[in-house]
Amino acid sequence: MTAPNDKAAPAPAANFIKNIVEADLAAGKHAQRHWAGQPGTAADHAAAPLDAAKLRTRFPPEPNGYLHFGHAKSILLNFGLAQQYGGRCHLRFDDTNPEKEDQEYVDSIIDAVKWLGCSWEKDGETNLYYASNYFDWMLQCAEALIAAGHAYVDSQSADEMRANRGTLTQPGKNSPFRDRSVAENIDLFKRMQAGEFADGAHILRAKIDMAAPNINLRDPAIYRIRHATHHNTGDKYCVYPMYTFAHPIEDALENITHSICTLEFEDQRPFYDWLLGRLAEAGLLQRPLPQQIEFSRLNLTYVVLSKRKLIQLVDEKHVNGWDDPRMPTLVGARRRGYSADGFRLFMERVGVTKNDSLIDYVLFEDAMREVMNESDQRRIAVLDPVKLIIDNYPEGQVEECHAPNHPLHPELGQRSIPFSRELWIEGEDFMEVPSKGFRRLFPGNMARLRYGYVVECTGCDKDENGKVVAVHCTYLPETKSGTPGADSVKVKGNLHWVSVDHAYTAEIRLYERLFKVPAPGARREGDAPELERNFLDDMNTDSAQTITAQLESSLRDARPEERFQFERHGYFVADRVDSKPGAPVFNRAVTLKDSWGKAGA
């Protein structure tokens, strides 16, 4: 059974960044330096020779958590552009905050990027970098800013700095330490590096304009004291650069041509340009400098992509860890059975714009269905089993029925399915008193056992509570599928089944959306203005169900992460964590068609 496809697939959406890249490459705007993270000093960068213009992008995650669906958009955009235009994409860890970063996150990010099918290696270049490997260069850059009068050491407390920063309508106030001499600033900064001061005692700030309309230009902090062990550099440093200071320098040192980021960084672009401009004036960087380009982040219904909220879900045990298949993390998506190709198709359809929009989760699931329908082999699973006894079939007899592995790909051949006197069928396929339009089994009605015979229902057995425990029928021997008599009897119902004696009894996990409303935590119409809703109140308590099902015997040998379409039910994957050899556990990735709205959830 295949998913219905009664409408044409949408064309790929617009991508304005491609237009920028193509124009820049045609104009030779960006020249590539023979540099990209090679050993040396920051000043060496300015002397490196230039080659013909080439594209270099980067994906720069902070290793302080697991990647989510929004990161997939950035990953596929940056690596996709580099691949399309013969350039390079770097994987760079912006590890400037030792208190929140961990090697666990580094490893998970590497794994997630690889899973999406992206590679940072090309033509002998590894292109895997860490901001922490540039810390010595960043210190040189900071000292150059001090020497040029563009930075100073501030000794205000955090509360004083906050009070003097101003507001969106009121300018800030100059720090009383803003006019320290270059010599005093250099001395204090050296002593900060030597570990003479406690955390928070001093901070290095850029000297720009405390009255700037853009608050990010009001003497932003560029270095702070942190006596903390770093996952990569250990205890070598006790001052660490701020992300907004480190990031532009990393881009420049790696020859990044297009620094692509989400819209929340748009207000930071003036500082990005200011910083690189001052360092180029000081002779530390060579022009042309990288350009920052912003695009709208991915926003999905029924999902939260806030790192803070995801951490809360994990820490408070509302989910079973970062890889819970209901989580919108890439490790969770992989475990659930979502396809990396499905992510790629979805991102192509969403496109890249500067307009914030909320994308319906149905579009994401449709992309997954389309890819899986094409790629996944078919198997049979009975999720709500009730026994079907064929009273006129010989006891002990077993024969083979044949089913295609994939109806769209006959080259994949067929598989054998054992047929016997007692079969498992779905409980919903029998009604003792049929409702209007019911075409499956009820006393006196005939239906086809898919890939097998036409049978006629004769009745059922019930337990003491009136529950149906077995359905009885007789079969028509001349009607086996694939034989000349298969069409001799016309029926409207078609049932899937597995042999009782040959079935694999398996644990199946049925997953739904983690939240029951499109915008978790958002105020609703009619809410009091002062009401603050907790996004946890919108969790779907029925988002996970575990059942015991009867599966086609061949599924016993399914390997972890091997995915199938279970006919009539959807796309399922052998769990990559809990599956054991000969005993796979299956997760439902997505149903055959959208049933969420119809369920009234």
Measured distance between the N- and C-terminal CA atoms of the chain, rounded to whole angstroms:
26
Of these residues, 29, 122, 297, 450, which one is catalytic?
Answer: 297
Contact predicate 296/353, CB 8 Å: yes
- Answering whether pTM is above 0.85, one says yes
Q: Give the torsion sign (CA, 353, 358, 361, 363).
A: negative
Note the maximum CA span of the chain: 101
Contact predicate 239/192, CB 8 Å: yes
In angstroms, the CA 597 to CA 60 distance is 37
- C-alpha distance from residue 479 to each of 398, 475, 499 (Å): 17, 8, 18
In angstroms, the CA 122 to CA 90 distance is 10
pLDDT of residue 236: 96
In angstroms, the CA 340 to CA 118 distance is 10
- The full DSSP string for 292-310 is EEEEPPP-BTT----HHHH
Full strand arrangement of the beta sheet holding 586-591: 377-379, 563-566, 570-574, 586-591, 504-511, 544-551, 381-382
Of these residues, 18, 122, 178, 307, which one is catalytic?
Answer: 307
Over residues 174-227, the pLDDT tens digits come to 999 999 999 999 999 999 999 999 999 999 999 999 999 999 999 999 999 999
- Catalytic residue flag (residue 250): no
In the chain (601 residues long), the average pLDDT of successive 10-residue segments reads 48 80 86 50 53 81 95 97 94 95 94 97 90 96 98 97 95 97 98 97 98 97 97 96 97 94 96 97 90 95 95 96 98 98 96 92 97 98 98 97 96 97 97 94 97 97 95 97 92 96 97 96 74 89 97 97 97 97 97 59 30
Look up residue 231 and give its two tokens. Answer: 């996952």
Place of tokens 């190709």: 341
Over residues 232-285, the pLDDT tens digits come to 999 999 999 999 999 999 999 999 999 999 999 999 999 999 999 999 999 999
Look up residue 502 and give its two tokens. Answer: 């040959």
In angstroms, the CA 337 to CA 585 distance is 12
| Residue 576: how many other CB atoms lie within 10 Å | 18
pLDDT of residue 31: 59
Residue 570, strand partner residues: 566, 591
| Residue 157: how many other CB atoms lie within 10 Å | 12
- Catalytic residue flag (residue 99): no
In angstroms, the CA 83 to CA 515 distance is 36
Query: Is residue 288 reached through a cis peptide bond, with omega within 30 degrees of 0 on the bond before it?
Result: yes
pLDDT of residue 3: 44
In angstroms, the CA 600 to CA 138 distance is 55
pLDDT of residue 599: 39
In angstroms, the CA 365 to CA 375 distance is 15
Residue type (1 letter), 518? P
- Catalytic residue flag (residue 512): no
Calculate the dihedral angle through the C-alpha atoms of 97, 103, 105, 109, rounding to the nearest 10 degrees. 110
Q: Which residues, 6+ apart, have CB-to-CB distance to 461 below 8 Å?
A: 468, 469, 470, 471, 472
Length of the chain: 601
Of these residues, 18, 54, 62, 507, which one is catalytic?
Answer: 62
Helix (H, G, I), strand (E, B) or coil at 24: helix
Pairing of strands 291-295, 258-262: parallel
Residue 571, strand partner residues: 565, 590
